[in-house]
Amino acid sequence: MSEEEKFDAIIIGAGPAGIACAYLLAKAQKNVLVIERGVTAGSKNVTGGRLYTYALEMVEEGLTKAAEEALERKVVREQITMMDGDKAITIDYHDLGFKGDVPQSYTILRAVFDEWFAAQAEAEGAMIATGIRVDDVIEKDGRIIGVKAGEDEMYADVVIAADGVNSLIAQKAGLRGELPAHSVGVGVKEIIELPPKTIEERFNVGPDEGVAKLSLGCTEGIQGGGFLYTNKDSVSLGVVFSPEQAAKNGKKIHEIFQDYKMSPAIYPLIGDGTTTEYGAHLVPEEGLRGVPKKLFRDGLVLVGDAAGFGINMGYIIRGIDLALVSGAAAAKAIIAAEKVSDVGPAYMKELDNMRLIPNMKAVAGFPDILTLPRIFSTYPKMANDVFQYLFTVDGKVPTKMTKALMGIVKKHVTMGQLMGDAWRGLKSI
C-alpha cells in the first residue's frame, strides 16, 4: 500500500455525524476521506427535520449563524396533537424565547443542510467521494486498517462508521448484530410544498418562524406517531411506527400515512399543497438500550445513528443533534490521541464530556412508556372523550362530572390497567 492511499481517517457516510467529524478533522489539518453512498450528501436520508442548534455550536461556536442559509424555520411552536377519528386535542406551546440569538432549534431539510455542511468540510480540505458504497472493513491483526469499496481498498489510521441506523460497517466489525425489528421504527415522509405565506397563516407564525408537531392516535393503535415540521416553503409530514406491530396487524404503511394525511386535524394544514418528495427510512427507537455495548474497536469508532444514538421521548425526538455531537466527539478523540489504540477510549470520554451519554441515560426509561400499547390509541381516545364531554352542550342535563369522567375512563380501561400504566410510566421517567 502506497503512502498516498493512506488517510488519517476514513469516514463512511456524509450525514451530520460523518460531516461534523470530517469538518473538525480537516480543520485540524488531518487527511480525511468521506465516502458517501448517495449521489450527493443528504440524498439518502429522510429525517423529517429538526436541528437543535446547541449541537452545531458544540461542533464549532458560530456554526448556526453560518448555516442559516441551509436552515428552514426557527421553531417557536411546539404542538402535541391527540387524535381520535374526527376529534383531536392539540396542545400548542408558543415560546418566542426559543428564537433567541441562537434559536433553540430550526426545522431543516436534510438534502439542503447536508449538502451545505459537506461543502464546508470540503472547503476545509476533506475529500468527499459520493456515489460509492463501502462494502466491508479491512482487518489486520485484530485492528481495522481500512475499507473495501468494490475492488478498491483504502487505508486509514481510523475508520469512522457514520453509515446510519442500519450500519453495515458496525455489523461487519462485529460491534452489532442484525437489527431486531422491535429496535427500530419505520418512518415515511412526504414533503408537501406550500407558499410561505400560506404556511405562516395556517400555522400562525411569522416569516422565519416554524412549528414542530407530534401526533398520537394516528397509527391505528400501532406503536408510533405522526410528525409535522414547517419548512420555508414546504411541510414535512410523516409517520413513524413499529414495523413489527404493523406486520402483525396487517396494516399497510401507505394506508396509515394516507389516513393521517386526510385526518381533519392535518388535512386543512396541507390542503392545496403539492407533494414533491416521498421517502421511507428506519429510525432507532430504543434509546440507550439500542446503543451497542462497545462503540469502538482498534481503528474504528461508531457515530450517530450507527451508534444507536437516538432519543424518543414521545413528545421530543432527537437524533441529528446527537449525530453532530458524536461526530465532533470522535474528531476530538482522534485529534488528541497519540496512538490509534487511544482513540476508542478517548471517544468514550468525549461522549461523556460532551454530555451525550448523560443525556441518553437521563431518558433511558422512556422507551418503556412508548411500548405501553394503550398510549397509541386508548388514551388519545379517552382524552378526546373527556373533552367531548366537557364541551358538549345540547340542552340535556349533563351527567355529574365525577360520574361522567369515571364512566369515560371505565369505557376504555380497567382500573388495574390504568394503575399499572401509571406506575410503569412514573417508573420509566
Task: Write down the least CB distance from residue 128 to other proteins, Å.
Answer: 9
Nearer to other proteins, 39 or 280 (CB): 39
Question: What is the rounded CA–CA span in Å between residue 295 and residue 287?
Answer: 15
Instruction: Specify whether the CB–CB gap between 278 and 223 falls below 8 A.
Output: no
CB closer to other proteins out of 37 and 77: 37
**Which phi and psi angles does 180 have, rounded to 5°?**
-70, 145
Question: What whole-number distance in Å separates Cα of residue 188 and Cα of residue 366?
Answer: 22
> Cβ 257 to other proteins, closest distance in Å?
23
Nearer to other proteins, 163 or 285 (CB): 163
Please identify, using beta-carbon distances, which residue of 195 and 398 lies nearer to other proteins. 195
| Nearest approach, Cβ of residue 26 and other proteins (Å) | 14
User: What is the smallest separation between the CB atom of 51 and other proteins, expressed in angstroms?
Assistant: 20
Please state the closest distance from residue 110 (CB atom) to other proteins, in A.
Answer: 14
Asked if 118 contacts 125 with a C-beta cutoff of 8 angstroms, the reply is no
Least CB distance to other proteins at residue 30 (A): 16
Q: Are 17 and 324 in contact (CB under 8 A)?
A: yes
Matching residue, cell 411500548: 371
Taking the least distance from each CB to other proteins, the nearer of 115 and 220 is 115
Nearest CB to other proteins, comparing residues 147 and 266: 147
Binding site for other proteins (CB under 8 A): 33, 35, 40, 127, 129-132, 149-152, 154, 276
**Residue in this structure with the C-alpha cell 407533494, named with its chain if needed:** 275
3-state secondary structure of 52: strand
Q: Residue 233 CB, nearest distance to other proteins (Å)? A: 11
Where are the strands (E) in 108-183, listed by range? 127-130, 136-140, 143-149, 152-161
Q: Enumerate residues 6+ apart whose C-beta is below 8 A from 216.
A: 80, 81, 82, 83, 225, 226, 314, 375, 376, 379, 380
Beta-sheet pairing, 274-284 with 234-241? unpaired
In the complex, minimum distance from the CB of residue 152 to other proteins, in angstroms, rounded to a whole number: 4
Q: Which is nearer to other proteins, 109 or 288 (CB)?
A: 109
Q: How far apart are CA 119 and CA 141, in angstroms?
A: 36
CA distance 206 to 240: 28
Q: CA–CA separation, 13 vs 44, rounded Å?
A: 10
The identity of residue 337, as a single letter, is A
Comparison of 149 and 340: residue with beta carbon closer to other proteins:
149
